[in-house]
Structure formats: structure tokens, C-alpha cells
Structure 1
Amino acid sequence: MILAAIVLTLEGPARPDPDGWRGLVYGLLKQIDPELHNAQPNPFSLGLGGREGVWWVRVGLLQEDLYARLSPHLFGLLGQQVRLKAPFLVKAVLQEEHPWAGVSSYPRLFQGQAAPSLGLQFASPTFFRRKGNSYPLPEPRLVFESLTQRWNAFAPVKVPEELAESWERMTIARFQGQTQAIRPNADERGVGFVGRVVYHLPAATATEAQWMQALGRFAFFAGVGAKTSLGFGRVRGFDPMRKEEAADARPEAEDSASLAEPKGPGA
């Protein structure tokens, strides 16, 4: 029942190429199970972030068996040089002591305060599929239906069906962010959302609040929305009661830019 987010920190001459780091991880997945990357929903999520000179790639794992099979390959990259179009040295492989690394279990996701408000930070462009197009607004129903689908695919206990009505009455208490053009690739283009949202469930029962918080913690490993296996929809929670400083409230430009549409000359 383990969930994990493993981060590889990189040292190299420039920003890693998104196709390069996806190819690296997909190559490792193919060694384990040639069909794994075609699974729907995916039992993993990917991420890329950092800033000039200090980059990292991230693999979120939603199944204990996948963690047991893939993590030795990831830890085996420590000190190795990998090619992400350009060469990069793997300086560290972390499952703690990094803001985007962590290990938990499905039962542990229910531990902690069962509050009726939940803060989620969308750090890479997040979008949903609607009639073949990307839809970039983090509406409560879309966010929690996405999390419910992935939870029910991999967790030992399913989300109660009656909670679908709870997500319908959920509101947004605070919203700060922006849309961002998605970097074109072979099968995706459009816009996504980056920023911070505080969700609130009016008159939440103890069960509703408990599931709301568990799914919010699950989002850290699973991601939200479409194409999480390509680095989109990377999410983590924040304390909705903490007064945010202006710098804290800004989207993580150095993280989200890796998947964003590059600006043209003079932009």
C-alpha cells in the first residue's frame, strides 16, 4: 500500500529537455513491464522542475509493487551520467528531504485533521479533457473526480459513491493563478492552469472532510487532470489558514516553465 515520490537531482549545462527525461523514465518502465506506460489510468506520475544549474526529475508511484520494482533502478542511477538530450549527472536520489519527495501509504493519507477546507498548489500546467480540447479551470468537481478515478484504480478502499454529490456542492474559497500555454508535443497543445486554490465544502460531515483531505494528500503522488504521466498536473497541498506572503502565492515559474509554451522573440 506504499505510495512514493522519488526525486532525482541533476547537474548539467542547461534545462533538461522534457522529451529526454520522459524517455529516461519510460525506458526504465519498459524494462519492468513493456505495457505499463499504456495503462489507464497510469499507476505513476512524472515531474520536472528546478532552476538554472539545479534541476530535478520526479516519479510518483501509486502501487507498492511498482515501487518495489522501479525504485532500485532509480537509486541505481546515483552518480551516473544520463542523457536528456544533453548529459546530466545524477547528484542525488531522494524519497525525503526534498519538497517534492515523500513516502506514504493509503491508510496514512487519512491521518491528520479532517478540515472542511483544502489548499492545493498546481505547480505545472493542469488541465482536463473536454470534447477533445484542454480545459484549464480547476473546478472542484473536475479536480475531485480526477482524484477519485485514480484512487479507485489503485487504493485498497474505494471512495464512497455518495461523495460525488459532495464534490458538486464544493466551492472555491480562494483562487490565485493564471492560465499557461502548454508546450507543444506530438499529442498535446492548448492551455493549463498554474497557481493556488482553496477548496471549501460547506456543512461537511466528518466523513466528507476526511475523504476530502485524504484525496488532497493523494494528489501529491498522483497528480490531477490529464497527462500526469507526461509531467502535467503536478500538485501539492498547502495550509489554507496560513497567511500567504506575496512570494509564496506566485506560481512556481521555474517549475511550470518547463512544460509551458516558449515565448517567441520580442514576447
Structure 2
Amino acid sequence: MVARLELKLKCREALSYQMASLFHGVLMELLPEEYADELHYSQLHPYTQHLECREDVWYWVVCALNEQAVKTILKDALWDVKQIVLKKKQILIEICGKQYEEMPYKQFMEHFYHEEHGRYLQIQFVSPTAFKQRGNYVFFPDLHCLFQSLMNKYDAAAGDHIMLDEETLEQLCANAQIVRYDLKSVSFSLEGVRIPSFIGKITIRMNGTKTMAGFANMLIEFGTFSGVGIKTSLGMGYIRQIKERG
């Protein structure tokens, strides 16, 4: 199961997506110490979180990628929270609304096998996104990095569904082409380091079989919960799928 909890924020001080790492600190303090330690040492985290502004209102969006994370993070730790404090900046934030959505893993598979999928995939990179390859930052939407990241995250979260296969990955990349983009280069500050990254939109055209297009659609749908690329637990890499063709 994956799930998403959106918390609507009310605050007198100005917020920014760069503060997501401070919200991560708040989250760790709300969790049981043993579970927080387990997450700290985990290579692939079973959750993502980021900040986003929609129509001048800020939201803290936290996603959980397995049943334990759904229960411990979303339902036990965050569900009844009324306010939080960013101690480093002494900012008090009220929670004035929430919206919750969950989806079992079998539903991703059902969408893959039983739905008709278009040839065009539109992705909005909502929070700063970057990849890391051979020790270097990749701050543009490289399709190999994109699909590889999503397949890795799916395997880490789902556990018993092994998706990352080099041949499948190469076929995805060979049949995918970016045909439109509207991107902006940005940086994401984290512990004194400015990570080069990007935000914006791309449109991918899928060639090849309908199965390949469906598989790509399923990965992107999962990515709206898992995020993509690096530092997704600290506020980077959140994506949204735009269904209609632009």
C-alpha cells in the first residue's frame, strides 16, 4: 500500500520549498525513536515529503510507501497534529486542513493490465529534482535516470515485486522520447550545500508496444507517491502526472 497525506498550513512567516529539510526534522521528532533510527540508517526510505504552494497556500505533503510507514508516519504520528514548530527558525505553523489518499499495490498492476494508456506522458516536477550518476549530479530529466530511479524505488517499497531489469530498462529508454519541455534550473540548499536541480514539465512520447506504454504509465503513477531522483525524503523530486495531452 502507498498513501499520501496533505496537510494545509497556516503561518504568519513566509515559507519556501527550501524549508522542507526543517519539516523533515519535525517529522523525525514525532516518530518513535526506534523507528526514526531505522529510517535514518535505511538506504531507500519508505516515505517522501515536500512543501508546495498552490494558489498562495502552502501544503506539507507526506507520502508513505508501505503499510508500516502508512500506519507509523501518516496515521500515528501526523494524523492528529494541530501545529508544528520549526525550532531552528522559531516559526509556529498551524495545520488547518488535511486530505488523505491511499492505493494498494495491486491497483497499480490493475491499471497496467486493464486500462488503455496514451502514448504521451506529461510529468510535472513540482519540487527541485536531480539524479546522481557516477558521483556527479544530473540536473536535467535524463530518461535512463528517471526510469531507473522509479524502478529502484518500486522494488524497495513493494518488496516482493522485482521490477528493475536492465533489459526492460533499456527497452523503456529506447522507446521513450522527450518531445516537449518547460524546465527551469534551480538549486536546493541542504546543510550548506547547494544541489543543482530542476523544476518544470516534460512530455514523453512512448513508442513500441502498448505494453511498454502501459508500463511507463504505471511507473509514473507510482512516482507520484515515491518521488524520483535523490533526497526525496528531504523535499526533492516530487512529481505530478498531468493526464490530458498538452
- Shorter-chain TM band: 0.7 to 0.9
CA distance in 1, matches of 2:147, 2:221: 12
The superposition leaves residues 155-180 of structure 1 with CA deviations (integer Å, 9 ceiling, x where unpaired) of: 24222623112233121121111111
Equivalent in 205, 209, 228 of residue 232 of structure 2: 228
CA distance in 1, matches of 2:77, 2:239: 25
Instruction: Decide whether the 8 Å contact of 1:7 with 1:58 is kept in 2.
Output: yes
1:180 aligns with 2:223: no
How much is the aligned-residue C-alpha RMSD, in angstroms? 2.0
CA distance in 1, matches of 2:243, 2:54: 25
1:54–1:117 Cα change, 3 Å: closer
Matched AA of 2:133? R
The TM-score normalised by the length of structure 2 is: 0.86
Equivalence for 1:109: 108
1:136 aligns with 2:139: yes
For residues 1-267 of structure 1, the aligned pairs below 5 Å read 2-16=1-15, 17-31=19-33, 33=35, 34-50=37-53, 54-70=57-73, 71-77=75-81, 80-84=82-86, 85=89, 86-95=91-100, 102-110=101-109, 111=111, 112-155=115-158, 156-159=160-163, 161=165, 162-169=167-174, 170-182=176-188, 184-186=189-191, 188-203=193-208, 205-241=209-245, 243=246
Q: Secondary structure at the match of 1:109?
A: helix
Matched AA of 1:41? L
1:29–1:115 Cα change, 3 Å: farther
| Structure 2 gaps, min length 5 | none
1:160–1:131 Cα change, 3 Å: closer
CA distance in 1, matches of 2:23, 2:163: 33
Matched AA of 1:159? M
Task: Identify, as 1 or 2, the structure richer in strand.
Answer: 2
1:82–1:212 Cα change, 3 Å: same
The superposition leaves residues 167-214 of structure 1 with CA deviations (integer Å, 9 ceiling, x where unpaired) of: 3312112111111122x22264231111111112222x2332221111
Instruction: Decide whether the 8 Å contact of 2:155 with 2:164 is kept in 1.
Output: no
- How many residues of Structure 1 are paired with residues of Structure 2 in the alignment? 231
Q: Secondary structure at the match of 2:146?
A: helix
The superposition leaves residues 97-130 of structure 1 with CA deviations (integer Å, 9 ceiling, x where unpaired) of: xxxxx32122212313333321110011100113
CA distance in 1, matches of 2:134, 2:120: 31
1:187–1:209 Cα change, 3 Å: farther
Equivalence for 1:253: none
Instruction: Decide whether the 8 Å contact of 1:10 with 1:54 is kept in 2.
Output: yes
Matched AA of 1:46? Q
Instruction: Decide whether the 8 Å contact of 2:20 with 2:50 is kept in 1.
Output: no
Sequence identity percentage = 27
Query: CA offset at residue 131 of structure 1?
Result: 3.8
1:240–1:51 Cα change, 3 Å: closer
1:19–1:139 Cα change, 3 Å: closer
CA distance in 1, matches of 2:226, 2:193: 20
Query: CA offset at residue 144 of structure 1?
Result: 0.4
CA distance in 1, matches of 2:137, 2:25: 24
Q: Which deviates the most, 215-224 or 129-138?
A: 129-138
The superposition leaves residues 49-92 of structure 1 with CA deviations (integer Å, 9 ceiling, x where unpaired) of: 22697322111111012102222221120xx2210230111112
